[in-house]
Amino acid sequence: MSTISNNDIAKAIYLASKDKSSTEMHQVHKKVVEFLTRKKFMSRVAVILEQLKKVINFENGIVSATVLSAHRVHEKEEKDLVHFLKKRYSAKEVELTYILDQSLIRGIRLEVNDEVIDLTVRNQINQLKEYLIRPA
């Protein structure tokens, strides 16, 4: 079991490269790569990068959300969504990723980190199914 978690490394990289000029950044990057090679952490790079993105987003008040829906979301709905997400997560900026999925039938499903708000018809049908077969 490693004592340094991916999250720790990502945070360290963020802090080391914060407010640095581009020449300094070059040095930081070199050192980071050296460190990862020396510690044999190269296999964990993909996860560390993902964590780094999360750390940067968190520090800059950016919320990244995935919107799943059966049909394209209208502009007005998108505005409402952004407004809602900014308020809920006290974010400065919202990044939306759209995924179309016909099996949702109608409605949208919002995924932010590990939180899910499911407003789709498929979810309602599943809930109805569980309600009808519940033990007496």
- The residues that touch other proteins, with contacts defined as CB under 8 A, are 1, 5-7, 51, 111, 113-119, 123-124, 127-128, 131-132, 135-136
User: Nearer Cβ to other proteins, position 24 or 80?
Assistant: 80
Do 88 and 118 touch, CB atoms closer than 8 A? Answer: no
Q: How far is CA 111 from CA 34, 46, 51, 99, 118, in A?
A: 35, 21, 17, 11, 8
Q: Tell me the closest approach of the beta carbon of residue 33 to other proteins, in angstroms.
A: 22
Exposed e or buried b per residue across 50-67, where buried means at least 16 C-beta atoms within 10 angstroms of its C-beta: ebbebbebeeeebbbbeb
Name the residue nearer to other proteins (CB basis): 28 or 57. Answer: 57
Minimum CB distance to other proteins smaller for 100 or for 117:
117
Shortest spacing between CB 44 and other proteins, in angstroms: 11
Please state, in angstroms and as integers, the Cα–Cα distance from residue 65 to each residue in 31, 76, 114, following that order: 32, 17, 10
- Rounded to a whole number of angstroms, the minimum distance from the CB of residue 4 to other proteins is 11
The amino acid at 80: D
**Closest distance between other proteins and the C-beta of residue 90, in Å?**
15
Q: Among residues 29 and 64, whose Cβ is nearest to other proteins?
A: 64
